[in-house]
Amino acid sequence: QRPRNFPPGPRLFPLFGNLLQLSLANPMKDFERLSKQYGKVFSFFIGSKPAVVLTGVESIKEALVNKAGDFSGRPLDLLISHVTENKGVILANYGPSWKDHRRFALMTLRNFGLGKQSMEQRILGEVSHITTCLEKSVAMQLVMFFVLAYPQTLFHKAGSNIIYSFLVSLISMFTENAKIANGPWAMIYDTFPMLRCLPLPFRRAFRNTDILKKMANNMISEHKKTRTPGEPRDFIDCYLDELEKRGDDGSFHESQLVMYILDLHFAGTDTTSNTLLTAFLYLSTHPDVQERCQQEIDEVLQDNKCPSFEDRHKMPYVQAVIHESQRVGDIVPLRVFHSTVTDTELMGYNIPKGTLVIPNLSSALKQENQWKFPHEFNPSNFLDDQGQFVKPEAFVPFSVGPRMCLGEGLARMELFLILVCLLQRFKFVWPEDAGEPDYTPVFGVTMSPRPYKISVKLRNNKLN
Ligand code: HEM
């Protein structure tokens, strides 16, 4: 039974709650239907576990910003919570240890050059690998001066190398864990605690994590052997320095560092690369938008000089295209789930402690009264009448409140520098034989465009 004055929702069934009424493969359409029927704050049950879905920017901000102290917890009894033991930062519950670790990561990112030269240099270094790779392919096709590239692997490599030049080496079991966490076996695990000890496919997520943890542990041992205390080379060295400084104060611990390494890799790879994949899908199928970006880039970066992150202020149209790609790409639509840390109230409803809270970021990014063109790719969504860049309130791809993405600054820098460098040098064309582009994304913990091929041509400018 729903608790008293709990947000409304569909009728409950014994044992399953509302599980059988939702598409486990992609519940987005169900959430849209349910919010039309029950309002901006509605509920459903995963077995006997209550969950509340927040629709639209108003309810998301009311909970995650105005009532941040109540709504910033993480669920403690789901497959992902057990796999990660709620360690690290992404799935750590709201409390002093999470706060300490979050502050530490932000500070370390800043010291390692967010907004400073070195992080910018790392990103530009990665871009030069992408351009070399594309140039080689173009050169091999001299006759046509055209190349078909698979941007999927290019951007994923760049994304993970950038975060890993900050952390070190890389792994692919994350993808499998993300699939498991997002699939029916996770739902079964979350719904029926009595099945958790059985050797069912969800156990694979634990096995994968054990292997990943071993790799992270090896990195830590390697760092311990080669580090000079007080002269950190990367994030791991910084954490080890901090650990020494604090002693065992209970919050900083090697087991936290292990999960932290995995967290930053997971959060920093798929997100930025899928955004770039979305941007290049739209740029190649909207040549007018691409040409306008290139015109702006050429005007600002005269003599084809290398871009810096500061140049974004002089490129309102490019900024609008990047933000619009994030908006339509809708890369993290529902995850990461929140949870209430105390009994509370939201928009007139009672929400008990421990309720799963799902901010539907997607609903804000496509909210009808918030955007000039909510359902189409149109950079004008981010431009005022004078063509200046503006960011509407409903632009929340990084979420809002104290749990909002801590890599936003890094992600912004990556998106801008990679996109500008590539558009400066290449023209991206939707291949003639590729048929109509399919913009429907593949649903997952992070959303990605369907795999596509793209033609790449060297631009006819001084750079080439
Ligand atoms: C376009 C790229 C990215 C998008 C769209 C994105 C989006 C998000 C979202 C929606 C959340 C959940 C916030 C919430 O719980 O309310 C999140 C959390 C997080 N992100 Fe990102 N992210 C991106 C890139 C990155 C990068 C590059 C890093 C690496 C430093 C990163 C690290 C994190 C971490 C550590 C959290 C957990 C924060 C916490 O729980 O306190 N993200 N991100």
For the stretch 395-439, pLDDT in tens is 999 999 999 999 999 999 999 999 999 999 999 999 888 889 999
Query: Which residues surround ligand 1 with Cβ inside 6 Å?
Result: 89-90, 102, 163, 263-264, 267-268, 271-272, 275, 331-332, 336, 397-399, 403-407, 410-411
Two structure tokens written together for 49: 């576990």
Q: Are 59 and 347 in contact (CB under 8 A)?
A: yes
Range of the domain at 48: 19-458
CA distance 413 to 422: 14
Q: Is the peptide bond before 336 cis (omega within 30 degrees of 0)?
A: yes
Predicted pLDDT at 19: 85
Is 418 part of any domain? yes
Looking at ligand 1, which atom is closest to the CA of residue 400?
16
Q: In sequence order, what are the beta bridge partners of 352?
A: none
- Closest ligand 1 atom to Cα of 402: 41
**In the predicted structure, residue 94 carries a pLDDT above the cut 90:** yes
| Atom number of ligand 1 nearest to Cα 338 | 15
- Do the domain assignments include residue 62? yes
Mutation pick for ligand 1 pocket among 405, 410, 412 (CB with most ligand atoms within 8 Å):
405
For residue 440, is it within any domain? yes
Ligand 1 centroid distance, CA of 263 (Å): 10
b/e burial code for range 424-435 (CB count within 10 A of at least 16 → b) = bbbbbbbeeebe
CA–CA distance, 454 with 462 (Å, rounded to integer): 23
In the reported structure, the alpha carbon of residue 351 is separated from the centroid of ligand 1 by a whole-number distance in angstroms of 25
Task: Please state the rounded mean pLDDT for residues 76-88.
Answer: 87
Distance 114 CA to ligand 1 centre (A): 15
In this structure, is residue 363 part of a structural domain?
A: yes
Tell me whether residue 8 is in a domain: no
Ramachandran class of 154: left when φ > 0, alpha when ψ lies in -120 to 50, beta otherwise: alpha
What is each CA distance from 270 to 53, 154, 226, 325, in whole angstroms? 24, 12, 30, 15
Is the distance from CB of 412 to CB of 271 less than 8 angstroms?
no
Contact 187, 24 (CB under 8 A): yes
Judged by DSSP in three states, 155 sits in: helix
Please classify residue 404 by burial: count the beta carbons closer than 10 Å to its beta carbon, then call 0-12 exposed, 13-18 middle and 19+ buried: middle
Strands 349-351 vs 147-149: parallel, antiparallel or unpaired: unpaired
CB 237 within 8 A of CB 223: yes
Rounded Cα distance between 68 and 73, Å, is 9
The question of ipTM being above 0.95 is answered as yes
Per residue in 129-153, pLDDT (tens digit) is 888 888 877 765 543 333 444 555 5
Q: Which helix H or strand E contains 54, and what residues bound it?
A: strand 49-55
| Total tally of structural domains belonging to the chain | 1
Within-domain flag for 7:
no
Distance (Å, rounded) from C-alpha 417 to C-alpha 7? 44
CA nearest ligand 1 atom 19, residue: 405
Tell me, in angstroms, the distance from the centre of ligand 1 to residue 189's CA: 25
Give residues with Cβ within 8 angstroms of 60, minimum separation 6: 54, 359, 360, 361, 364, 396, 400
The CATH number covering residue 419 comes to 1.10.630.10
218: which residues sit within 8 A by CB, 6+ positions away? none
Question: What average pLDDT score do residues 344-364 get?
Answer: 96
Judge whether 318 lies within some domain: yes
The answer to which of 93-102, 170-179, 352-361 has the lowest mean pLDDT is 170-179
User: Considering the domain boundaries, does residue 6 fall inside one?
Assistant: no
Question: What is the maximum span of the chain, computed from C-alpha positions, in angstroms?
Answer: 72
How far does residue 8's CA lie from ligand 1's centre (Å)? Answer: 30
Q: Residue 163 C-alpha to ligand 1 middle, in angstroms?
A: 13
pLDDT for res 77: 86
Share of residues in the chain with pLDDT > 90 (%): 51
Question: How far is the centre of ligand 1, averaged over its atoms, from the C-alpha of 147 (Å)?
Answer: 34
The predicted model gives 263-269 an average pLDDT of 85
What pLDDT is recorded for position 143? 34
Q: Point out the ligand 1 atom lying closest to the alpha carbon of residue 275.
A: 1
Q: How confident is the model at residue 121 (pLDDT cuts 50, 70, 90)?
A: confident
CA 264 to ligand 1: nearest atom: 29
Rounded Cα distance between 106 and 92, Å, is 16
Question: How would residue 341 be classed by pLDDT, with cut points 50, 70 and 90?
Answer: very high
306 annotated among ligand-binding-site residues: no
Ligand 1, atom 6: nearest CA belongs to which residue?
398
* Whole-number Cα distances in Å, 357 to 50, 74, 75, 190, 224: 9, 9, 9, 15, 40
- Pairs from 374-380 (Cβ < 8 Å, separation ≥ 24): 377/282, 377/286, 377/324, 377/325, 377/328, 377/439, 378/324, 379/289, 379/317, 379/320, 379/321, 379/324, 380/320
For the CA of 162, the closest atom of ligand 1 is 27
